Structure 1
Amino acid sequence: MLGSLSSSFDHSPWAVTELSGEAHIVRYANSAFCRLFDKARDEVIGRPFDRLSPADECLALLDRVFRTGAAASYTAEELAAPCPLLFSYSLWPLMADGRTAGVMILVNETGPLHETRHAISQALLLGALRQDELIEATELANVQLRTEICAHKQREIDAKLLANEVAHRVKNNLQVIASLITTEIRRTPAPWVRGFEAMQDRVIAIAQLYDLISQSSGGRTVALGTYLKEIAATLSASVLGDTGGIRITVEAEALQIDSERAVPFGLLVNELGTNASNTLSQAASEWSRLPSDGSGTMSS
């Protein structure tokens, strides 16, 4: 679990080892730890700790730290000439996903000359463990954040697809209504035809809006210029017809308009365009009936 931090302890004068699982398998051991037991590193790594240290006190404390997740330490006396040496064992739990995954052990000689060294070694090891916990927590938070971002993006995609599908169905329903109006126009007396045609133009204008929405990547907005061109094309076909010399052109800024504003806006443009087109058509019709002076121009 120390990962790249293990290099900080490889040449440490204090014995450091990392154990994993309930069986306390050695996963890391620095050179000082191997010298302590007079073994090569490949003889230590992968072996249970109780095969290396048969001391009952240490093993019992090791089990307690793994079970409770609380750090602990004890001091053992080793007889040696000319005076006994004291060895201090400090044990810290290694946490992963809120549970104890292993134990870190630091072995130090104790005594007046070693107290400062012992304090430094403990601070270094605790800092390494804390940094490892922070790295693990950061990685977990990043995974959760990426998951939430992906879920949010998927919800956006689903919402756009749903909006486009609804717009497509609304457009189809409006086209059915426009077709029904066409059928009604065919059996309506001439004086009232224009009223049905105006109604049909309004329905078609709204249908064009929802058609553009269903094809839009934005979901609920359409390009203003494209919408106006669709309305202009419908007016040209339904109102101007074959009236020569009259065309409707559109000049619009590159703006997006949402559907709630686009519906009344399209109806307003349709009304203004219809009125203007009717006026131009009547003027063109009257102009065509004026007598010619023989030179190809009309006179009044």
Structure 2
Amino acid sequence: MGIAQRPQNADERLDGEVVETRGQPRFYGILDCAPLPMAVMEGPSQIVSYVNPALCYLAGKSRVEMIGKSFAEILPGGDECLLLLDRVYRSGKAESHAEQEGSATRSPYWSYDAWPVMVGLAGEDRPTGVIIQLTETTPFHLRATAMNEALLVSAVRHHELMEVAETLNTKLQVEMRDRKQTQQALLRSELLASAGRMAASIAHEINNPLEAVINTLYLARSTDHLPDSAREYLEIADGELMRIAHIARQTLGFYREFSAATSNSVTSLLDSVVNLLQAKIRSSGAAVEQRCDLQLQVIGAAGELRQVLANLLANSLDAVSENGRIILRASASVDPNNGRRRVRITVADNGHGMETTTINEIFEPFFTTKASVGTGLGLWVSKQLVEKNSGSIHVRSNPHGDRRGTTFSVVFPREAEVSEVTSRKAQ
């Protein structure tokens, strides 16, 4: 509460000045709006000259009942309060006092704030009265305050515990995901092991009849007066049977091809793959176009390279619709990482394309988009064969728009590195 002083002249009156206006100080209107009980006393006897509505409500009396009476009659038993008012009146200095719950003999417990009312000229100020403000402090209020503090501390601890719980939950989720991935990897390993055992068994069973078929073809090719077209078909069949025999020997573990990496004509490889899949190409109605330098050579095992390209072309034929288009392209390039020369072979189609989620899984074993028709091993085996021949395989695809389709890119070393690759494998 500010101190009201009388200015030197009437034109210099302050807003907080105690001035009689219709029998009341002008700032009483402000005190009427105060939420805390307040009163103004005059003289050494502390005669009440003003009370605000909040004090009327606290005391249970009207203004008429309190104004003109001693403050001691309004709040009897308030010895500390009366002493406080007397000190402020005599000293002209504001003071405060708060009763303690343990030292008081009654409830509620009060806190008092008192200010002197000063009038007169500057340098001659003297108190003419006192303004007092009362604050009620009950045991319930103290307990509520303590409870609020406890709730605040509890909320902070709850927040800390929630953070710890979230951290632990995140770690648990990561551990569960890692464990699930480990279990899936073990399951895939077991499936691959089972598939390997089954493949070995099948290879063992077909090995002997396969040899018989190869011998029969040899005899048929040796027949006199055989038409050139029939001889060409028999040579194609003999080549594919040799590839089947090679796969069977690999499956059984009877054959390790340390020196099989040789120089192969890319054009010849693509021609052989297209000829092999001619029946499938005709049935699909697709157009297969070859774009390749006739002199381009690639390093690798011929049978394995042919198997990779055949798998990729067969997949493209499955993806395109009637009148679809497939382009087989081979070109020379240089590895930007080490400057070595290499050959890039691409198989591009304008089929239905693949979503990103599918692309992320196509090289996983047993993953297929062909339902019961596919085994899910073609691309996985192709990737293994490409890497075995010091190459790499990549894919990009778009399932939407005019540029819809899929492109597989396979990169192999060029002929210039035959001796280096062969010697490295021999070591």
Tell me which interval the TM-score lies in, with the shorter structure as reference length: 0.3 to 0.5
Query: Relative contact order (C-alpha < 8 Å, sep 6+): which is higher?
Result: 1
Give the structure with the higher percent strand.
2
Question: Larger Cα Rg: Structure 1 or Structure 2?
Answer: 2
TM-score, length-normalised on structure 1?
0.33
Give the structure with the higher percent helix.
1
